Structures are given as C-alpha cells and as structure tokens.
Amino acid sequence: MNIILNNASMIPIYEQLVDQIKNQIIKGKLQETELLPSVRTLSATLKISSLTVKKAYDKLEEDGFVVTIHGKGTYVAATDRALAVEARRKAVEDDFAKALEKARAVGMSVEEIRQMIDILLEE
Amino acid sequence: MRGLIEKDLCLLLQRSRVLFVMIAIGVLLGFSTDGSFVIGYLTMICAILTVGTISYDEFDNGYPFLMTLPITKKTYVVGKYLFCMLGGLTGWLISIIIYIGCMLIKGNPVSVSVFADVFAFIPIMMLIIAVMLPMQLKFGAEKSRIVLAVAVGGIWVVWYLLMRFLPDNASISAIISGADDLTVMMLIVLICIGALAVSYPISLRIMEKKEY
Amino acid sequence: MVSVRNLNKKYGDFSLNVTLEIPDGQITGLVGKNGAGKSTVIKSVLGLVRPDSGSVTVFGKDAFELSAEDKQKIGAALSDSGFSNYLTLGDCAKILSKMYDNFDKKLFMESCKKYGLPEGKQIKNYSTGMKAKLRVLVALSHDAKLLIMDEPTAGMDVEARNEILDIIRGYLAEREDCSVLITSHIADDLEGLCDDIYLIHQGKIMLHEDTDVILSDYGVLKADEQTFMTLDRQAVLCYKKEPYGYCCLTDQKKFYIENYPGMVIENCGIDDIILLMTGGK
C-alpha cells in the first residue's frame, strides 16, 4: 500500500486516506482479501494519529470496501469493482450538479457553462 | 526489593575505590593497633557508606523516577534497612577476617575475650543505622549531616550537664561499672532493638508523607 | 485506563484544576506552555503527588495507592528524573531485570545499541539526547500497558526528537491496546502521534479535541479590520489583533471557506491553537 498525504491540503487527512485506499482497491493494486496494515502500524508509518486511521477504516467498511474481523485485522472486501467505479462516477455527477446549481444561481447561460468547462478541461 | 538492593549494590560498587581505600586503611590499623579498633572502624564505615546510597537516590532529582518503578514506599524503606544492615555486617565480617589475619601474621595469640567486645559492635552499628536512616530520609544528605552534628553535640551537652549537676552521679557510674558484661550487652541489644522499633515506623511515615 | 476528576493541587500562587480521561488503547497528549501544570498532572497520575482534592484513578485504583504489581504495567519517562547518573547502562539493565517481570534484556540492550547508547559509560557522561533516549527506552523495556511520558523530547533538536517519537510509535504499533499519556510543549510532536489532545493553560484545561478534528476542522482566519467587523463570529473561538487586522481561530473552517471566499484561511496546527488561545481574547 502506497499512501501520500498532503498535510497542507484543505481536504481532511482521513478523507485523503479513504480516497487513496479506495483508488487502490478499484485499480486492483490492493487485491481482494488482502490484509491492510493494522491501525497503529499505519499511523506509525504515516505519522498521523491512529484515530484518523481508524476513522478512515470505518468509513471504508461502511462503504463496503473493507471488512474488519475483530482480533484479526482489516481485509479488502470482495467488492464488485464495476459497481465501485459506478459509485464514484455518481459522486462526480453529484459534484457537477452542485456546480451547475451555483452557476444557474448566478445566472450563467448554458453556453457560458459549456465554455467554462471547455476552458477548465484545456488547462 | 531485589531490584532496589541491586541498585544500591551497583551504586556502592561505583565507589569501589573508596571501599578499597577503606579496607586498606583497615589492614593498616589492624597491623598498627592491637585492640579490636579495626573492627569497630570498618563496621561503622560500611554502615555509613551504605546509608550514603540514599544521597545517590536523591542526587539529580532521582526520587520521582525511582518511585515509578514497581516498588512501594514501604519496600523502599524496608530495602534500605536491610541493605544497610547487610552492609554493616559485611564490614564487620571483613574486619574480623582482617583482625584475625593481622594477629596471626604478627604472631600474637587471638584472645577469646576480644570477641565479647566484637559482638557489641553489631548493636552499635544498628543503632547508628536506626538514627541515620530516618534523618537522611527526612533532611536529605546535606542537611542531615548538620542535623546529626547538632544532635550529637546536643546529647553531649545534656550528658555533661547531667554529670555536672546531678548530685548522686557517683551512683550512676557505680551501676555502670558494677554491671557485668552480660547485663551491659543485654542492655545494649535492648536499646538497639528499641531504637530500630522506633526508627522504622518513623522512616516509613517520612516516606509516605513525601511528594515528589 | 486513567481517569482524573477535578484534580486540585495548589503550589503557592499556582493552582491546578484538571479533569481528563484516557480510555483504553488511546494515545492522549497534554500540551501547554512551560509551567502550565503538565508535570503536576503527570505526577498525580503516577501517584508521586497527592491531590489536595479530587480523584486520580489508574487501572480503576487510586493512583497514590498503586501496588508494585500495578506499577509493573506502567512505563514512565519523566523529564527531569531518571536512574542515578553514577550508574552505567549495564547497571540499569541489571536493575531492571530484577525489577520487572517482563523485562526483555536482550531487546533492551539491542535497542540501546541501535540508538548509540554506550554500555560501560556512566550516565552522567551521556549527552542530553542520549539521556532522553535512555529514559524512553527504559519506559518501553517491560511491555507496559500504560505509558506516561513527560516531555520526552524536551531540549532536543529536530532529528533527535523524531528519533524518540519513532521509538514510541514503533512500540505502539506492536501493541494496539497500550494507552499513553504524553506531554510536550512542542505541539508538532504530538500532532502525528496522539488521538486526542488536551490544552492546559495556567492549571486549567482550555481545550479537549480529537487530533484529526483539530487538523480537519480548525483553521486560522486572517481578516482585515473591515472583514472582521462584518464577520459572523459564531464559530470563532478566539481572536488576536495583528498589524493587518485580526487573526481568528475557528473550529469550523469549512463554514468560512464557503461563505467568505475572499478571506485567507489557513490550516491550523496545535501550536497555532496554543498561541491564540493562551495569548488572544
């Protein structure tokens, strides 16, 4: 498992952790039934509090990416990868929807929104 | 307890040079004097050296850490009494060996009568420990020296005044000189046991009241 | 594991009043300036001082009455007290092996060697950093279930500090159930180690928060006079006058990021909190 955290980022550490682990599961870098490092071990290597790691693992479990077996550890769950990818697409769609809402609120036209997206894509 | 004794032993051995010099002086004394002075000397020195390990515990603010170790204050106090007595006894045994050795080398006969005196040093050594330990615990190494000096001076003054102004001091000295060795011995042993019986609970109280 | 309730202790002008809790398996940090009362809390938990009032319990027992057996399960590293300076490392190992049932001599000597502590030298010839490492290694030498560490990194350079923290992290990684109370006046040291943080100032607890909440939700707002006047100060914990305007501490930086897009908002560390909460209004 390879995790790079950005302490200066406004994204909370635990969210960064969740995202990166999810990514690695979706990309197949972390295989099904693979054992994740223990909470304290990961917190020691990343130099973050173990509560942060625990929160991240809990969130991952809630989202069905890992399973924690008490006394044994946390394993990568047997997830349907296609489904996971779909869930992430949905999240992106939601974010776009929010952005569109804001854009409409300030009175941008469809054309203007398209233009903005094109500009952003070119960047 | 074993850990504490081990610590005191390590501390004592750090001063092995002092110990060596003391024993060397003991040997010299053994050769130059005929009496049992060397026995008294080494026994007392050893008792004082072992009591001195308390000042090492106290140096550089050592007590707080010591009390985080798996011991209680009671074990600490008991350990100190044990260690000091063992120290005194060891000094006593060594000095007897030196004494007998010197006598044999000098070709003097080892008189049995000396050994009556020899045994008297044990209760005296214990008396010293009984007085010094609570003082060291209460006042620390520096202050206890002053307190001890003042106390000894005080006792001397009281003694002097008693002798001076008590009208029938003749009778006291008569009692002292009239008693046979065994009675004196018993008396000394009783005083020593009494002193320890008073000293130990006082030390314990001093330690239990302490905060670090 | 440890519970401190209404602990009161007076030393002349200084008076301490603290309530804190260390649940099983939690790593709790206590930060504050020098003289804020950190060491007194530590000493109360270790049963070295008797509270004037209030209660301090460790393993469910009064800390002042802990038995030798209870103390077997505690590993303590104090800031200014350790083995006698006249002893050597070898002596310490001998003493520890007679003190603690679970003392692992081989491991202890190996780690001492790894961190460059010479066996035969008297401790008084050690450098400050070496002494500090020794104190920490001693605390970790006997499989303790509760670590109490007072300023284990005080007076050290960045490298030595990191080394000491790594020693502690390594120990904890192998023991998920070990609880820790650790103090520092360098908050940075604790951010990457502690699950939650207590901020103590002039003998009182000013703040108690999970470390990741501090790092994710707390922030420093930098507002000029004008913005400050119109700023919704509901989630501003305290502020301080600066040459450019006001520096504000918030525990809801997201709110301000969303509602005041123009304002400079920074992530905030525990050090910022100490500075603002103990120096600001």
Contact A48 C216 (CB under 8 A): no
- The CATH code of domain A13-76 reads 1.10.10.10
Tokens matching residue C61: 């027992």
d(CA C110, CA C133) in angstroms, rounded, equals 13
Beta bridge partners of C223: C246
* Domain boundaries defined on chain A: 13-76, 81-122
- For residues C119 and C112, the answer to whether their CB atoms sit within 8 Å is yes
Amino acid type, B35: G
User: What's the number of domains chain B is made of?
Assistant: 1
Show residues of chain C in contact with A49, CB under 8 Å: 27, 191-195, 210-212
d(CA C210, CA A51) in angstroms, rounded, equals 8
Tokens matching residue A31: 């295989």
From its phi and psi, is residue C249 left (phi > 0), alpha (psi between -120 and 50) or beta?
beta
* Burial category of C104 from C-beta neighbours within 10 Å (exposed 0-12, middle 13-18, buried 19 and up): middle
The predicted structure's pLDDT at residue B161: 79
Q: Going by DSSP bridges, is the β-strand pair A66-69/A73-76 parallel, antiparallel, or unpaired?
A: antiparallel
Residue B113: pLDDT band by 50, 70, 90 thresholds? low
Domain that holds residue B146: 2-209
Q: Classify each residue of C188-203 as buried b or exposed e, where b means 16 or more C-beta atoms within 10 Å of its C-beta.
A: bbbbbbbbbbbbbbeb
Interchain touch C–B (≥3 Cβ pairs closer than 8 Å): yes
Among C158, C185, C213, give the residue marking a domain's end.
C213
Smallest Cβ–Cβ distance between B211 and the set C48, C78, C84 belongs to: C48
Among C192, C213, C234, give the residue marking a domain's end.
C213
Helix (H, G, I), strand (E, B) or coil at C177: coil
C87 touches B at CB < 8 Å: yes
Residues C206 and C100 in one domain: yes
The CATH number of residue C99's host domain is 3.40.50.300
Q: What is the pLDDT of residues B144-196, one digit of tens each?
A: 778 878 877 887 888 777 777 766 555 556 666 666 767 777 887 888 888 89
Show residues of chain C in contact with A40, CB under 8 Å: 172-176
Smallest Cβ–Cβ distance between A38 and the set C176, C193, C196 belongs to: C176
Question: Hey, CA dihedral for B172, B176, B178, B179, is it positive or negative?
Answer: positive
Residues C111 and C148 in one domain: yes
pLDDT at position B78 over 90: yes
Show residues of chain C in contact with A43, CB under 8 Å: 169, 173
Residues C109 and C229 in one domain: no
Show residues of chain A in contact with C253, CB under 8 Å: 10
* HSE-up of residue C199 (Cα within 13 Å, Cβ side): 20
The predicted structure's pLDDT at residue C62: 93
d(CA B159, CA B155) in angstroms, rounded, equals 6
Rounded to a whole number of angstroms, the distance from the CA of A4 to the nearest CA of chain C is 15
The predicted structure's pLDDT at residue B35: 65
Tokens matching residue B97: 């060996």
Please give the interface size between A and C, counted as residue pairs whose CB atoms are below 8 Å apart.
60
The predicted structure's pLDDT at residue B172: 57
What ipTM does the predicted assembly reach? Answer: 0.87
Among A73-82, B96-105, B162-171, C209-218, top mean pLDDT goes to C209-218
Mean model confidence pLDDT for chain A? 86
Smallest Cβ–Cβ distance between B3 and the set C82, C87, C98 belongs to: C98
Residues C81 and C31 in one domain: yes
Show residues of chain C in contact with A12, CB under 8 Å: 212, 215-217
What is chain C's pLDDT, residue by residue, as a tens digit (281 residues)?
Answer: 899 999 999 988 899 999 999 999 899 999 988 888 999 999 999 999 999 999 999 999 999 989 999 999 999 999 889 999 999 999 999 999 999 999 999 999 999 999 999 988 999 999 988 999 999 999 999 999 999 999 998 888 888 888 999 999 999 988 888 999 999 888 888 888 999 999 999 999 999 999 989 988 899 989 888 888 888 888 888 888 888 888 899 999 888 888 888 888 888 888 888 888 887 55
DSSP B15: T
User: What's the number of domains chain C is made of?
Assistant: 2
- Provide CB contacts within 8 A for C15, sequence distance 6+: C8, C9, C203
d(CA B37, CA A38) in angstroms, rounded, equals 70
Collect all residues from B whose CB is shorter than 8 A from any CB in C.
2-3, 6-7, 10-11, 14, 56-57, 59-72, 75, 211-212
Q: What is the pLDDT of residues B30-74, one digit of tens each?
A: 777 766 778 888 888 888 888 888 888 888 888 999 999 999 999
Q: Which long-range contacts (CB under 8 A, 24 or more apart) does A60-68 make?
A: A60/A18, A60/A21, A60/A22, A63/A18, A63/A22, A63/A87, A65/A21, A65/A22, A65/A25, A66/A21, A66/A25, A66/A36
Q: State the best of A5, A16, A40, A74 to mutate against chain C, taking most chain C CBs within 10 Å.
A: A40
Show residues of chain B in contact with C48, CB under 8 Å: 64, 67-68, 211-212
Smallest Cβ–Cβ distance between A44 and the set C173, C191, C257 belongs to: C173
Domain that holds residue C26: 2-213
* HSE-up of residue B55 (Cα within 13 Å, Cβ side): 15
Rounded to a whole number of angstroms, the distance from the CA of C225 to the nearest CA of chain B is 50
The predicted structure's pLDDT at residue B118: 77
The predicted structure's pLDDT at residue B176: 60
Contact C81 B57 (CB under 8 A): no
Show residues of chain A in contact with C257, CB under 8 Å: 10
Q: What is the pLDDT of residues B40-49, one digit of tens each?
A: 888 888 888 8
In chain B the first and final C-alpha atoms are separated, in Å, by 21
pTM of the entire predicted model:
0.82
Helix (H, G, I), strand (E, B) or coil at C31: strand
Mean model confidence pLDDT for chain B? 82
Q: In Å, how far are B68, B87, B198, C66, C134 from B204, measured between CA atoms?
A: 18, 20, 10, 16, 31
d(CA C164, CA A108) in angstroms, rounded, equals 57
Stretch (H or E) spanning A89:
helix A81-105
Helices (H), chain B: 2-14, 16-32, 37-51, 53-58, 63-68, 73-106, 114-165, 169-178, 181-209
The predicted structure's pLDDT at residue C70: 93
Helix (H, G, I), strand (E, B) or coil at C153: coil
Residues C54 and C159 in one domain: yes
Phi, psi (deg, nearest 5) at residue C183: -115, 155
Sheet holding C236-242, edge to edge: C236-242, C245-250, C219-224, C264-267
Stretch (H or E) spanning A90:
helix A81-105
Phi, psi (deg, nearest 5) at residue C181: -120, 120
Smallest Cβ–Cβ distance between B75 and the set C68, C85, C87 belongs to: C68
Residue A77: pLDDT band by 50, 70, 90 thresholds? confident
